[in-house]
Amino acid sequence: MSESHPHTMRLQRFLARAGVASRRGSEAIMTAGRVTVNGRVATELGTKVDTDLDVVEVDGKRVVWGDTPVYLMLHKPAGFITTMSDPQGRRCVAELVPTERYPGLFPVGRLDYDTTGLLLFTTDGDLAQALLHPSRHVAKRYVALVDGVMTDAELEPLRQGIMLDDGPCKPAPSRIVSARAARRIWSEPAPPHSSVVEIELSEGRKNQVKRMLGRVHHPVLRLHRPAFGPLELGQLKPGTWRCLTEEEIGRLRAAADVREPYTSEEGTR
């Protein structure tokens, strides 16, 4: 059967449209050996499946087209890398979320090993892709403890769009906040001659907050993300997770400007 057959398609496309992950994320899940078709591990990206006949499983759990996507937030603690597996045996965020209950979960973006805060997980590939796309301007808010006593004027280059080695950053709303903010986030007291800065980004380059603040000569000592788009971490304790409410999912979709995920009826037309 050909790719044009309405019930036959490439496996990574099936996984993406079933809400397991984005197309690229589905390819990563396949190459990691986590996907089986009719009991056989499928790592070939050219693999095709018949959506009516073939049994597709991720991590031993069957993927059914039309399954309701899952959305949850984790309060990521320091000391975990943002990946679902690590060949070097380092601790990953997969240990902290219910992957057995919700196969196909993957993180939306990443937080550094030593960065804490809100990390979103989903099985909805379309929404994840939209949330991270620069054109959607979905903001992420960070609180940074930096070295040195910082003045408001020193934040002006960040507000204007500071230049980094890989090009100019978009203007980032920034402000100095009180030391009480640090005490609410980190149990350790702030060192002397330090400042607390809140910064909002609508792009996601690697180590961007650290690089931006380092460029204005205030290296980041600790970094925390309390908000992703319209979502707030709130009172969620480090290392714990919760599913999003319907209202939160709706606000997240509105922020990313995406429609509801595919249903089984839409998928088999």
Query: May I ask the CATH class of domain 8-67+260-267?
Result: alpha beta
List the catalytic residues: 112
Q: What pLDDT score does 167 carry?
A: 94
Q: What is the mean pLDDT of residues 114-120?
A: 97
In tens, the pLDDT along 66-110 reads: 667 899 999 999 999 999 888 898 999 999 999 888 877 889 999
**Identical fold at 8-67+260-267 and 139-228?**
no
Other beta carbons within 10 angstroms of residue 210's beta carbon come to 18
Between 102 and 65, whose confidence is greater?
102
Q: Tell me the fold of 139-228.
A: Alpha-Beta Plaits (3.30.70)
How high is the mean pLDDT of the chain? 88
The 10s digit of each residue's pLDDT in 48-60 is: 998 778 999 998 8
pLDDT-based confidence at residue 268 (cuts at 50, 70, 90):
very low
Task: Spell out the domain ranges in the chain.
Answer: 8-67+260-267, 139-228
Q: What is the pLDDT of residue 68?
A: 77
Query: What number of other Cβ atoms are within 10 A of residue 194's Cβ?
Result: 18
User: CA-CA distance, 204 to 89, in Å (whole number)?
Assistant: 26
Beta-carbon contacts of 123 under 8 Å, excluding residues fewer than 6 positions away, are: 19, 20, 21, 67, 69, 70, 102, 104, 105, 106
Average pLDDT on 114-126 reads: 92
**pTM of this prediction?**
0.77
Q: What is the pLDDT of residues 138-150, one digit of tens each?
A: 999 999 999 999 9
Q: Which of 62, 43, 49 is nearest to 13 (CA)?
A: 49
Confidence label for 260 from pLDDT (cuts 50, 70 and 90): low
56-65, 110-119, 214-223, 236-245: least confidently modelled range:
56-65
Burial tier of 157 (Cβ tally within 10 Å: 0-12, 13-18, 19+): middle
Give the least confident one: 42-46, 116-120, 242-246. 42-46
Task: Provide the pLDDT confidence category of residue 1 given band limits of 50, 70 and 90.
Answer: very low
Token couple for 206: 């690697």
**Rounded mean pLDDT of 2-15?**
68
